[in-house]
A and B are shown apart, each in its own frame.
Chain A
Amino acid sequence: MADPVETDNTDETLPSDATLQSVDTRATGTATVKRGLAEMLRGGVIMDVVDATQAKIAEDAGAVAVMALERVPSDIRRDGGIARMSDPAMIEAIQAEVTIPVMAKCRIGHFAEAQVLESLGVDFIDESEVLTPADEAYHVDKWSFTAPFVCGATNLGEALRRISEGAALIRSKGEAGTGNIVEAVRHLRSILGDIRRITVADDEELYGWAKELRAPIDLVQEVAELGELPVPLFCAGGIATPADASLVMQLGAQSVFVGSGIFKSDDPASRAKAIVEATTHYVDPAIVAKVSRGLGDAMRGIQLAPSDTHLADRGW
């Protein structure tokens, strides 16, 4: 592994083929480099895994990354208690097992957990509502880290606040651990619908949008100009079938996170592979049909009542 602070000492005085040498020192942790990794994960599936064995199954199935955590969200939901960052030894065991990027979660606002994850060389840090929040008012200042962050959002304002704090990737929150796609669809429709409305707003209206969304005006203006978020938008929370993946990709997500949906199903390896193929070929229903055959039962799933704990409400 290269040393992150390594510099290139090449200068213009080098003889011979020096014209082909690079001419400056390496810049790490830039917004381009952080968002660049998010771009590389597009059209892919990121799978929750709790040990090296599951990580291997995920990589074998074609996952673009794994999310290392101690309990999948459906178990966190069932067990209750305080959910925290995973044991570093468990994260390292997964890093040793797979060649694809390894992500891990820290609690909302718990910058010390984030520092630990960065020191482990975690490729993406998820400041996640699935864990119990550590700070009731503030999220982590993500600009101060070299590792990129992904954060959840239920609406455009939340997405832009996370981007203003330095998130390099946004995922719709959905409702983790339910196996019910309805919340993810609601969040995606809210984010993407507001983006569509902003693109036709005039300059005065954009200030109103910034106020309503509680988001920085420069980011609102950037979204109006781009017609999309300035970072990729993935979908998480409730994806359990290949058709679920196709649905959220067609709605406008660029990749999917699958948590409990794989390893709480009858046949994780086959289901994982099927969701990978459905995510690539999401526009082709014949392929989605083909990969959906004979997968056994999906995770059972639960339909939340209004009085149940909604993880998506965490985050400010």
Chain B
Amino acid sequence: MKVGVLALQGAFREHREVLDALGCEAIEVRVPQQLESVDALFLPGGESTTIGKLLDSSGLRAPLRERVAGGLPTFATCAGLIVLASDVLDGRADQEPLSLLDVAVRRNGYGRQVASFEVPLRVEGLTGAPFPGVFIRAPVIERSGDGVEVLARHDDRPVLIRQGRVWAASFHPELSGDLRLHQRFLQQEVAA
């Protein structure tokens, strides 16, 4: 299984390391050709404004939208969630999300870095210990559409969601040292 990690900017290396540990062939995606051969895609955290601009300059915006809309299993974290959302609140006026997830997210909704936090999460379908939730200047999911399934919450807000074959987290499973979410996503959406 070949898994792409969007590597324009942000914590792409951490996703790649988790995928390596799970025995996947992980490749970094910076230009459109690299997107063609992947069986699944991770969109990392980082700065969503920067990633948005680099999606345009790299020519990845259209092919990425096409592949994800066409059913490519995709897991987006933090800034990745903002990139896929249908509505972005408190973003920049020129921030143009891909509208592939029926959610409204508020950028930095949990506050500035001094308010960034860790909290254990209960995740639907994950057995054993709670999942370590690492929230870094995280977006808040303020609204989610009918087709969106909530897999974990914090403070009454969804923090892990699924819509079709797209998963998205407002936190960072790749920074937690816990492989279970990556593993479960791949088992459920790719291996099946």
The interface of chain A, by Cβ under 8 A from chain B, is 1-4, 6, 8, 10, 17, 19-30, 32-33, 36-37, 39-44, 59, 61-65, 99-101, 118, 121, 123-124, 146-148, 273, 276-277, 280-281, 284
Main secondary structure of the interface of A (DSSP, over half): loop
Q: Rank and list the top 8 A-B pairs by shortest CB-CB distance, nearest first.
A: A2-B111, A26-B117, A123-B113, A62-B53, A22-B154, A64-B47, A43-B9, A1-B111
Output the nearest chain B residue to A21 by Cβ-Cβ distance: B153
- Contact check, A147 vs B113: say whether CB atoms are below 8 A apart: yes
- Contact check, A30 vs B118: say whether CB atoms are below 8 A apart: yes
Of the residues A4, A29, A40, contact of B46 by C-beta under 8 Å: A40
- Contact check, A43 vs B10: say whether CB atoms are below 8 A apart: yes
In the assembled complex, 11 residue pairs joining A and B whose CB atoms fall closer than 8 Å, in A order, are A1-B111, A20-B152, A22-B152, A39-B14, A40-B136, A40-B137, A62-B49, A62-B53, A62-B54, A273-B57, A280-B54
- Contact check, B50 vs A44: say whether CB atoms are below 8 A apart: yes
Output the nearest chain B residue to A19 by Cβ-Cβ distance: B122
Interface residue? B120 (CB, 8 A): yes
Report the separation of the CA atoms of residues A146 and B50 in the bound assembly, to the nearest whole angstrom. Answer: 26
B86 to chain A, nearest CB (A): 19
The interface of chain B, by Cβ under 8 A from chain A, is 7-14, 30-31, 45-47, 49-50, 53-54, 57-58, 78-79, 90-92, 107-124, 130, 133-137, 150-156, 159, 172, 175
- Known A-B contacts A26-B117, A37-B137; A280 and B9 likewise in contact (beta carbons under 8 Å): yes
A24 to chain B, nearest CB (A): 5
- Contact check, A147 vs B114: say whether CB atoms are below 8 A apart: yes
Instruction: Output the residue of B79, B114, B123, B175 with the most chain A CB within 10 A.
Output: B114
Report the separation of the CA atoms of residues A111 and B79 in the bound assembly, to the nearest whole angstrom. Answer: 32
Of the residues A22, A23, A32, A63, contact of B50 by C-beta under 8 Å: A63
Question: Which residues of chain A have C-beta atoms less than 8 A from B172's C-beta?
Answer: 36
A148 to chain B, nearest CB (A): 7
